[in-house]
Structure 1
Amino acid sequence: MIDSVIADLRTGIVMLADSERTEVAEIGGIGPRFRGVLAASNINPATEKSNDIERIWLDYIFSTNKRGVALVTKFKDQFGFDFKGKRVLDIGSGYGGLCLAAALQGADVVGVEFQKKLVDFSLENFHDFDVGDCIEIINKDIVNPETWKSLGQFDIVFCDNVIEHVHSPEGLISAVGSLLKVGGYFYLTAPNAYSFGMIRSECHYGLLGASLLDPNDAAVMLSFIRGQKTEYDVSFYYDYAEYVEIFTRYGLDPKHLLPLDGSDAAVARAHANFNEIIKDLEKVKLPDSIRDRYFERVRWYKNRFYADLNYFYGANDPQERAAIAQRMSRDYEINLWYFVCKRTKK
């Protein structure tokens, strides 16, 4: 349905909300005031001296407006969604790029952000485009019913790169089920902890094998590798079936946006990738306190993959084999799931 979603996530055009509706020369760029407050906090664009993890985080910060514009544009183009006059909620609004993009399309926008510093940054971002009156940012925890019960209902809710950081993912999805109007959309991205890409390099810290572990053991692993106690800012990684079950429980009908490869060649490719990853996983250096649990999880991962592989090769019906191959593509090759859910129940 949306073959070009990922390829186009960093394209788009930003329109200023002033009387002349001037195009920004730097597509999806950030303004001087926002750039200035970032610099004052020693946050500057990545350089050749930046390590891989620093570059990921810095690129994420400085692309906030590009990513916001791209996502709003995709909803307009692929779903025919007209933002003008609609109520939009961004959960985990961060640096404000999505809120800004929706407001510039005429939406009434509410952002909920738990970190006060990010709220302050986003307000400076909005100031550059003169849209502060169109956006309300709330510095609270969306999982708390006292936060969301006073917000009213929305036509569309976004939750992008957030769900794995909250203390109760189900609580967040439950809140969305109440916040969405019937027929409204919920857009959610969720990392796939068991994809080959995530196993090779966990998306937040770049650690081999960390996404197999529970958050406490992953924190021990991170601190051990960095040589000092380091916070691990990830709470939960759910699998695909768990997300679908939770969505359905709260009246949300989920669709996954990315195409899946149902060919025999895709399974052969996955098998080869799996064998290489297992070799790497078995070489990881770990503190004694988590070693046994780590290798127990590696064994679990091996058993999981081989069970799927045997199921595939045991299927004689071509349609069944294709369906199993697609599920394996979804579970092992896609690093980030892109869900769009529609609220179907009152």
Structure 2
Amino acid sequence: MTVESNFERFWETTLSPTTQASVIKHWREHELTAVLRGNTVVMHLQDFSSVAGLQILDVGCGYGGVSIALALAGASVVGTDFDAQRLEGAKIRVHEDHPGSNVRLVRSAGESLPFADNSFDVVVCNDVLEHVQSHDSTLAGIARVLRPGGWLYIQFPNRFSPENLKKDPHYGLRGVSILPPWAGRLYVVRLRRRSPSYDVGTFPVAGKVLQVLHALGIETIQYWPSPRRTLGWLTPALRAYRLNTVPIITAIGRKS
């Protein structure tokens, strides 16, 4: 038995017999490739600063894939998540799959991070905002614990993206991304029976998120997909439209 299969075996114990096979297949691939996908986060950050030797907070670390990738690149990482089951899986992954990696795991909601002001050189918030109760409180907490001159990596799905409206990135259902949490739960769990649980809150809107970060003293240095060059007075309007309609937005910001 390989070490990685210990995590896979744990993950399989979390499945419900009522979860549809297509959902299981999607999330199995997603979770088992998490460390590999975490290397993309490292790559984006290292375009601006080496992560080696830095203190990094991974907010909403889930099963720990991004945290491990950052640690393998030389960072000292604290991963937080409110879901105790996910933290248990992250512990298995950290201690059995990558023993010795510099990752500490803490149970905490994104809205109430238990760390002192200016504690971290980098904060990562990867596919988390749509799962928290308050976008603004989570972003304020991130800004509080990030040191001046520190970097923020943030990625999230756009609420009004036509692609997300057509097919929700979590459950593969039409229209879920614009629903409030109570309606999403009713639709996904009770009506469509796609999953026995529903852990998605309100999807964020990219333009609003970047505005909130600006007000908190975090300036967006770059975001992906990059804005296209346009001419004349349409430039701001077209950029704003594209920013708010791409399926997934990824941004790097820096605290002043």
TM value normalised by structure 1: 0.66
CA separation in 1, counterparts of 2:143 and 2:60?
Answer: 17
Task: Choose from 207, 225, 246 the match for 1:258.
Answer: 225
Following superposition, the deviation at residue 136 of structure 1 comes to: 0.9
Task: Choose from 186, 190, 196 the match for 2:162.
Answer: 196
Work out the number of aligned pairs and report it.
249
Secondary structure of the residue aligned to 1:253 is strand
Letter in 1 for 2:75: A
TM value normalised by structure 2: 0.87
Letter in 1 for 2:51: F
Summarize deviations over 1:250-299 as a string: whole Å, max 9, x none: 11112423223456xxxxxxxxxxxxxxxxxxxxxxxxxxxxxxxxxxxx
Secondary structure of the residue aligned to 2:58 is strand
Letter in 2 for 1:327: A
5+ long unaligned stretches in structure 2: 15-19
CA separation in 2, counterparts of 1:87 and 1:123?
Answer: 19
Alignment of 1:1-346 (within 5 A): 32-42=2-12, 51-76=21-46, 78-79=47-48, 81-127=49-95, 128-132=97-101, 134-144=102-112, 147-149=114-116, 153-227=119-193, 230-254=196-220, 255-261=222-228, 318-332=231-245, 334-344=246-256
- After superposing on structure 2, the runs of 4+ consecutive aligned residues of structure 1 that deviate more than 4 Å are 227-230
Following superposition, the deviation at residue 163 of structure 1 comes to: 0.9
Secondary structure of the residue aligned to 2:252 is strand
Letter in 2 for 1:94: G
- Tell whether the 8 Å contact from 2:155 to 2:248 is kept in structure 1 after alignment: yes
- Tell whether the 8 Å contact from 1:262 to 1:323 is kept in structure 2 after alignment: no
Following superposition, the deviation at residue 209 of structure 1 comes to: 1.4
What's 2:17 paired with?
Answer: none
CA 141–224 in structure 1, closer or farther in 2 if over 3 Å, else same: closer
Following superposition, the deviation at residue 93 of structure 1 comes to: 1.1
Following superposition, the deviation at residue 142 of structure 1 comes to: 3.3
Following superposition, the deviation at residue 233 of structure 1 comes to: 1.4
Identity %: 21
Following superposition, the deviation at residue 40 of structure 1 comes to: 4.5
Summarize deviations over 1:220-245 as a string: whole Å, max 9, x none: 22234325894321112232232122
Structure index of larger Rg: 1
Query: 1 or 2, which has the higher strand percentage?
Result: 2
Following superposition, the deviation at residue 206 of structure 1 comes to: 1.2
Following superposition, the deviation at residue 208 of structure 1 comes to: 0.8
Summarize deviations over 1:107-160 as a string: whole Å, max 9, x none: 11111111122222222222222224x221101223225x233x8611110010
5+ long unaligned stretches in structure 1: 1-30, 45-49, 264-317
CA separation in 2, counterparts of 1:92 and 1:326?
Answer: 29
CA separation in 1, counterparts of 2:8 and 2:251?
Answer: 31
CA 228–63 in structure 1, closer or farther in 2 if over 3 Å, else same: closer
Letter in 2 for 1:163: L
Following superposition, the deviation at residue 71 of structure 1 comes to: 1.6
- Tell whether the 8 Å contact from 1:95 to 1:118 is kept in structure 2 after alignment: yes
